[in-house]
Amino acid sequence: MSFGLVTSAALCGALVGATAPSVARRFAPTPDPSAPTPAWSASGWALVGAVVFAGLAAALGPDPALPAYLLVAGSGVVLAVVDLACLRLPDPLVGAAGLGGAAGLGVAALAAGTPGRLAVALAGAALSFAGYVVLALLPGARLGFGDVKLAAALGLPLGWLGWSTLGVGLVLPHLLNGVVVLALLAARRVRRDTALPFGPALLAGAWLAVLFA
């Protein structure tokens, strides 16, 4: 692990996080009053961005795939802001995460001479999409198709690291979301029928899966 690499990544992440609320406002000009968290603090999101980027740099090191993960993470920070503010995952932002990840991993595959690894990553994205479609269609499911599309975008970098990482990255969000929901219920911040964003849990679960891959 390079201290310089991690520091540089943290600074880039802080910049992305600090600008995330202003970018998010273009997609969520009117926050949803039912959303549980006011999400516009630039300083708070700067810290989140720094931690997320630094964690990825520490986990992956000078891997040719690191830029792809940082591209996905940058889009993910903005997506988290939007979803917390208005319970939406806009297609342009999800598309940016997916296309940025695919392009970055394509370059990494060429640089490393491992095209087969990219094929596994694409299979991971397809599997993530199919699995979350099934979950979204289950009776009583609270997953939206924005969550389904985000799961597919995250399945690509998770699949790049292997099937076990993909599995952890797809299961962990549900555990994290469950803990958050129980805490909010215990604090009487929400009711059982309150709509809550799932995008941040998807992003956090994928990030943790990468860190411990």
- Smallest Cα–Cα separation from 151: which of 123, 126, 117, 176? 126
Task: Please say if the pLDDT value at position 193 is more than 80.
Answer: no
- pLDDT of 44-65, one tens digit each? 999 999 999 999 999 999 999 9
How much is the pLDDT for 66?
97
In the chain, domain spans: 3-211
How much is the pLDDT for 33?
58
- pLDDT of 125-155, one tens digit each? 999 999 999 999 998 788 899 999 999 999 9
The residues, any chain, with a CB within 8 Å of residue 146's CB and separated by 6 or more, are 83, 88, 89, 90, 91, 94, 199
Q: What mean pLDDT, rounded, does the chain reach?
A: 91
DSSP classification of residue 85: H
Q: What does pTM read for this prediction?
A: 0.92
Structure tokens at 144: 């939206």
Residue 56 burial (10 A CB sphere; 0-12, 13-18, 19+): buried
Ramachandran region of residue 16, left (φ > 0), alpha (ψ -120 to 50) or beta?
A: alpha
Task: Please say if the pLDDT value at position 34 is more than 70.
Answer: no
Average pLDDT over residues 12-29: 89
pLDDT category at 30 given cuts 50, 70, 90 is low
Token look-up 């000009």 returns 29
pLDDT category at 186 given cuts 50, 70, 90 is confident
In whole angstroms, give the CA distance from residue 200 to residue 137. Answer: 21
pLDDT category at 40 given cuts 50, 70, 90 is low
